[in-house]
Amino acid sequence: MANIGPVLRYPPAVLSASFLSLVLVTASARAAPFVPAADSQVLATVPARASDPRARELVTLRAAWRAQPDDVGAAVRLAQRYFDEVAAEGDPRYVGYAQAALQPWWALNSPPVAVRVLRAMLLQFNHRFDAALVDLDGAVAAEPGNANAWSWRTAILMVQARYAEARLSCQQMAALTTPLVAVACRAQVDAATGPAGPAAAALRAALQASPGASPDERLWCLTRLAETEERRGAFAAAEAAFREALAIGIPDVYLQAAYADFLLDRGRPAEVLVLLKDRGRADVLLLRLAQAAKATGDRSATSLAAELAARFDAARRRGDATHRKEESRFTLAVQGDVARALALAQANFADQREPVDARILLEAALAARDAAAARPALDWMAASGIQSVALQPLADALGGRK
């Protein structure tokens, strides 16, 4: 995959114990501004316009948009392309660039459908799920055949634990997409609302029935399969699915984070340090690295924790509350501040209700010996009917599942 986003001057430095000295160089450089030693010194890395075709394509699209900023076609093409970069790199700067392209329509109640779907995608990125759903409902009402809008709608409904609506959304989408995606969509709802076994079996069968599926599709379905197997305690099957997904070779932050969590839960933190070496630019992966370094007693543990704390601090300074899930885990597992971790987990669960969000709340409540604080997560478990070998012991320890 082409390297698009910017790279820190010492990207690997913050990630590996063997580069600890460079971490210190970075840290000391941060303490005071400096004059670089030579004109040839590289300060930052950006998409290479001269050689990288993706970067060139972006430059061309941006020039077209600049020439006619009021042309909805040019704006949507550019914004969509920027959003693809978010997918490739997980870099939030592209969210702002995409929003700028849509500026003439951004404040309209009912912009053109293509703009509306993109606006929803950008809104959900900043956790404005309700506003995003309003746009997606408007988009599918105007264009019932818009598979992209249905797909986003389903994903947000899942995050909000609105499973009946998510199931209906999957049904609407089924006729508009491939059989594999249709099955996987249904299976993820099934796995969130009942026993994991049948959902895993359905996913596995659909994967076997679609040998020609694209790598992206396979990666997504294998990740779902691994999580579902893990949820019912079939760890060998889960690990096999994780490894098959990783072997596809597409760098995917979500997949790597999920596998790292799997390894941490199995008591194999040393493997996390290897898996995520050089991947710490993403905060979610740096979090797993910091946890693994702490668990193994690695020399880098202190500097990784400091780096992550600095990033959370930077996010907080800009008023960004979308980090609470990771920050709660970091605060509890690395810093040991139970009260703060619980407050973050509670705020996060009010925003997002996926299994991982419930787990963070249960763990923080358990550490704080505050069963009442865990109530929303326990209620969610009871209402959804989810099966999870990770969540159930926590719920039992907190006084049972009701």
The residues in 140-159 that bind other proteins, with binding defined as CB under 8 A, are 145-148, 150-152, 154-156, 158-159
- 254 lies in the site for other proteins, by CB under 8 A: yes
83 in Cβ contact with 118 (< 8 Å): yes
Q: What is the DSSP string of 88-132?
A: HH--THHHHHHHHHTHHHHT-SS--HHHHHHHHHHHHHTT-HHHH
For 101, phi then psi, to 5°, come to -65, -30
Cβ proximity to other proteins, 48 vs 270, nearer residue: 48
Among 253, 338, 347, 371, binds other proteins (CB under 8 A): 253
Enumerate residues 6+ apart whose C-beta is below 8 A from 142: 113
Cβ proximity to other proteins, 21 vs 40, nearer residue: 40
Site for other proteins in 297-326 (CB under 8 A): 307, 310-311, 314-315, 317-320, 322-323, 325-326
Site for other proteins in 172-231 (CB under 8 A): 173, 176-178, 181, 184-185, 214, 216-217, 219-220
- 107 lies in the site for other proteins, by CB under 8 A: no
- 137 lies in the site for other proteins, by CB under 8 A: no
CA distance 206 to 282: 32
Angle at 353 between CA 206 and CA 239, to 5 degrees: 45
CA distance 177 to 212: 15
CA distance 279 to 254: 12
* Total chain residues near other proteins (CB under 8 A): 99
Q: How far is the CB of 325 from other proteins (least distance, A)?
A: 7
CA distance 292 to 304: 10
Q: How far is the CB of 124 from other proteins (least distance, A)?
A: 5
Cβ proximity to other proteins, 216 vs 379, nearer residue: 216
Site for other proteins in 359-388 (CB under 8 A): none
- 60 lies in the site for other proteins, by CB under 8 A: no
